[in-house]
């Protein structure tokens, strides 16, 4: 058994305090709460409440009362307390309560109340569910919305399911039948039922006129509240990102202020990362699943490791295969070479994906070299690039001259 309060009933072990259940709840968690408190199976408590309901709806009223006064597990206040913390909510709920009382008294005195006596507990329960909705915490509201959305009778998404349709049909037909039966009791439509229906309709309209402004305002508040929440979440995401990236980098820059090349490298790194985040969040370099993603990684690594700025321009994209990976590896060698030996401040990389070929151009405007004058033992890198490209049918051209920089052109045919 866990040390903290268990969220489920442990049979035979009563647990304090009495709280409405969060994990073992269906609607409000009242039964679950009692089960945990008393150490009885949830099911038994639920059966008991259901049986109590048969006595003039007493079970439902009891349930609603507990729902209002018991604090939900993990929360600070009960629903009643939450309502009374907010003056406007308290007023609204009080008005609803008085309206319910008036309705009950009217029904009692006019004698419309049928002998079965279900009327007033149901009306009070109806009021209580209104109060629950007004006072519930955001978390509980979400739970309830979810519950009602998945309930087969109310949820809109259920029209497609056959089972839901049948259930809806049966329950609907049964209710209509009971209603007609009741009307028949009081003399059929052309007897006193007609005036009863008219009376009810007028009553409903009256209630609507009284409460519509409130209700509309509440709906509006709810939507604006939701919008506000979305905005806050969005902001939180933004703040988290800025904190993790930009703020950290700024701190690093402050500490490295004396070292110019470090500052440039850090700033450039952050700039690239922020750009990526702002303008192309879908092409993350973390998991390069595209040619452009792979080439982006070259830009990142060369700038980081050699402090040379890389000017990357890409045209078109494709899914990487063996040839693409080889091509990119060759491009990386060429870019690193340029960064290491050219003494240029920046290296340009241009890639283009065409229907039949993919090419990478790596260019610097550095010191350059005379291709023929290089001793054979220094040609290792150029040779390895050439060989690897050649094995897969690719071509390598190196264009270099002393004083005017170097350009390496890599062309790979596309796999079909």
Give the helix/strand (H/E) hosting 410. strand 406-413
Q: Among 4, 48, 9, 6, which residue's Cα sits nearest to residue 32?
A: 9
Determine phi and psi for 179, rounding to 5 degrees: -60, -45
Sheet with 309-315: strands ordered across: 309-315, 346-353, 357-364, 406-413, 395-400
Q: Which residues contact 252 (CB under 8 A, 6 or more apart)?
A: 266
Alpha carbons 408 and 389: distance in angstroms, whole number: 12
Taking CB under 8 A as the criterion, the residue among 73, 314, 342, 396 binding another protein is 314
Determine, following the binding rule CB under 8 A, whether residue 280 of this chain makes contact with another protein.
yes
Q: Which residues contact 51 (CB under 8 A, 6 or more apart)?
A: 59
Taking CB under 8 A as the criterion, the residue among 198, 221, 354, 401 binding another protein is 354
Determine, following the binding rule CB under 8 A, whether residue 342 of this chain makes contact with another protein.
no
- Nearer CB in complex with another protein: 380/403: 403
Determine, following the binding rule CB under 8 A, whether residue 333 of this chain makes contact with another protein.
no
Stretch that binds another protein, among 92-100, 152-160, 197-205, 317-325 (CB under 8 A): 317-325
- Cα 48 from chain centroid (whole Å): 38
Cα separation values, 38 from 9, 18, 49, Å: 8, 9, 15
Alpha carbons 198 and 113: distance in angstroms, whole number: 16
Stretch that binds another protein, among 13-21, 177-185, 223-231, 306-314 (CB under 8 A): 306-314
Stretch that binds another protein, among 13-21, 75-83, 170-178, 307-315 (CB under 8 A): 307-315
Task: Write down the least CB distance from residue 293 to another protein, Å.
Answer: 10
Determine, following the binding rule CB under 8 A, whether residue 365 of this chain makes contact with another protein.
yes
Phi-psi region of 308 (alpha: psi -120 to 50; beta: other; left: phi over 0): beta
Instruction: Give yes or no for a contact between 94 and 104, defined as CB atoms under 8 angstroms apart.
Output: no
Task: Write down the least CB distance from residue 404 to another protein, Å.
Answer: 9
Alpha carbons 2 and 72: distance in angstroms, whole number: 19
Determine, following the binding rule CB under 8 A, whether residue 416 of this chain makes contact with another protein.
no
Determine phi and psi for 69, rounding to 5 degrees: -95, -20
Determine, following the binding rule CB under 8 A, whether residue 361 of this chain makes contact with another protein.
yes
Taking CB under 8 A as the criterion, the residue among 39, 187, 316, 393 binding another protein is 316
Stretch that binds another protein, among 35-43, 198-206, 237-245, 347-355 (CB under 8 A): 347-355
Determine, following the binding rule CB under 8 A, whether residue 311 of this chain makes contact with another protein.
yes
Task: Write down the least CB distance from residue 257 to another protein, Å.
Answer: 18
CA-only gyration radius of the chain, Å: 37
Task: Write down the least CB distance from residue 364 to another protein, Å.
Answer: 8
- Nearer CB in complex with another protein: 99/274: 274
373-412: contacts with another protein (CB under 8 A): 407
Alpha carbons 311 and 345: distance in angstroms, whole number: 11
Stretch that binds another protein, among 36-44, 76-84, 178-186, 311-319 (CB under 8 A): 311-319
Taking CB under 8 A as the criterion, the residue among 98, 171, 238, 315 binding another protein is 315
Cα separation values, 77 from 20, 209, 344, 407, Å: 11, 33, 68, 72
Taking CB under 8 A as the criterion, the residue among 101, 317, 329, 367 binding another protein is 317
Stretch that binds another protein, among 40-48, 91-99, 253-261, 310-318 (CB under 8 A): 310-318
Stretch that binds another protein, among 91-99, 207-215, 328-336, 357-365 (CB under 8 A): 357-365
Residues lying near another protein in the complex (CB under 8 A): 271, 275, 278-280, 282-283, 290, 292, 311, 313-319, 348, 350, 352, 354-355, 361, 363, 365, 407
């Amino acid at each position: 058994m866990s040390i903290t309060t268990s969220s489920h009933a442990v049979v035979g072990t009563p647990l304090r305090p009495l709280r409405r259940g969060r994990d073992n709840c269906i609607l409000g968690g009242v039964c679950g709460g009692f089960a945990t408190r008393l150490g009885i199976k949830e099911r038994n408590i639920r059966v008991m409440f259901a049986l109590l309901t048969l006595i003039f709806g007493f079970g439902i009223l009891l349930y609603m009362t507990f729902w209002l006064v018991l604090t939900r597990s993990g929360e600070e206040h009960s629903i009643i307390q939450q309502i009374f913390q907010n003056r406007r909510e308290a007023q609204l709920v009080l008005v609803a309560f008085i309206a319910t009382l008036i309705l009950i008294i009217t029904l009692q005195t006019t004698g419309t109340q049928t002998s079965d006596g279900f009327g007033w507990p149901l009306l009070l329960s109806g009021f209580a569910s209104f109060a629950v909705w007004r006072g519930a915490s955001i978390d509980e509201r979400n739970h309830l919305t979810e519950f009602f959305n998945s309930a087969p009778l109310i949820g809109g998404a259920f029209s497609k399911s056959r089972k839901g349709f049948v259930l809806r049909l049966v329950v609907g037909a049964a209710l209509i039948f009971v209603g007609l039966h009741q009307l028949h009791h009081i003399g059929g439509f052309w007897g006193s039922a007609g005036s009863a229906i008219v009376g009810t309709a007028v009553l409903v309209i009256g209630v609507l006129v009284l409460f519509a402004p409130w209700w509309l305002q509440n709906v509006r508040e709810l939507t604006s509240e939701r919008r506000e929440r979305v905005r806050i979440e969005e902001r939180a995401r933004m703040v988290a990102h800025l904190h993790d990236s930009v703020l950290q980098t700024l701190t690093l820059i402050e500490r490295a202020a004396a070292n110019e090349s470090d500052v440039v490298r850090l700033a450039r790194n952050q700039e690239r990362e922020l750009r990526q985040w702002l303008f192309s969040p879908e092409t993350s370099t973390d998991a390069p699943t595209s040619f452009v993603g792979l080439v982006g990684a070259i830009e990142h690594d060369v700038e980081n490791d050699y402090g040379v700025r890389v000017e990357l321009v890409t045209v078109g994209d494709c899914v990487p295969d063996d040839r693409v990976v080889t091509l990119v590896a060759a491009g990386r060698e060429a870019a690193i070479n340029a960064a290491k030996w050219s003494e240029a401040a920046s290296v340009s990389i241009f890639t283009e994906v065409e229907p039949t070929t993919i090419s990478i151009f790596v260019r610097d405007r550095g010191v350059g070299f005379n291709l023929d004058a290089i001793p054979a033992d220094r040609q290792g890198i150029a040779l390895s690039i050439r060989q690897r490209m050649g094995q897969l049918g690719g071509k390598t051209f190196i264009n270099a001259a002393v004083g005017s920089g170097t350009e390496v052109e890599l062309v790979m045919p596309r796999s079909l």
